[in-house]
Amino acid sequence: MSIVVTGATGSLGRLVIDELLAKVPADQVAAVVRNKDKAADLAARGVELRIADYDAPETLEGVFRSGDRVLLISANEVGRRVPQHTAVIDAAKAAGVAQLAYTGILGGPDADIELAAEHKVTEQLILDSGLPHTFLRNGWYTENYTANLAPVLAHGAVVANAGEGRVASASRADYAAAAAAVLVSDGHLGTAYELSGDTAWSLAEYAAEVAKATGKEIAYNNVPASVHQEILIGAGLPEGFAAILVDVDKGIERGLLAGTSGDLARLIGRPTTPISETIAAAL
Tens-place pLDDT, residues 231-241: 999 999 999 99
What pLDDT is stored for residue 269 in this prediction?
A: 98
**For 83-131, what is each residue's pLDDT tens digit?**
999 999 999 999 999 999 999 999 999 999 999 999 999 999 999 999 9
pLDDT digits (tens, 9 = 90+) for 123-169: 999 999 999 999 999 999 999 999 999 999 999 999 999 999 999 99
Cβ atoms of residues 171 and 143 within 8 Å: yes
- The answer regarding whether domain 140-170+196-259+273-283 maps to CATH 3.90.228.20 reads no
Whole-number pLDDT of residue 93: 98
Q: What is the CATH number of domain 3-138?
A: 3.40.50.720
Task: Report pLDDT for 75.
Answer: 87
Taking each helix axis from N to C end, the angle separating 275-282 and 203-214, rounded to the nearest 10 degrees, works out to: 50
- For residue 243, name the pLDDT band (cuts at 50, 70, 90): very high
> 10 falls in which pLDDT band (50, 70, 90)?
very high
List strand residue ranges (DSSP E) for 9-86, in order.
29-33, 48-51, 69-72
pLDDT digits (tens, 9 = 90+) for 32-86: 999 999 999 999 999 999 999 999 999 999 999 999 999 999 988 888 899 999 9
**Contacts by residues 188-192 (CB-CB < 8 Å, ≥ 24 positions apart):** 188/99, 188/101, 188/134, 189/99, 189/132, 189/133, 189/134, 190/132, 190/133, 190/134, 191/134, 191/135, 192/108, 192/134, 192/135, 192/137
pLDDT band at 276 (very low <50, low <70, confident <90, very high): very high
C-alpha separations of 150 from 39, 100, 145, 156, 221 in Å: 29, 38, 10, 10, 16
Q: Please report which confidence band the pLDDT of residue 15 belongs to, taking 50, 70 and 90 as the band edges.
A: very high
pLDDT at 27: 96
Q: In this structure, which amino acid lies at residue 283?
A: L
Domain ranges of the chain: 3-138, 140-170+196-259+273-283
Q: Centre a 10 Å sphere on the Cβ of residue 53 and count the other Cβ atoms it contains.
A: 15
pLDDT of residue 79: 83
Average pLDDT, the chain: 96
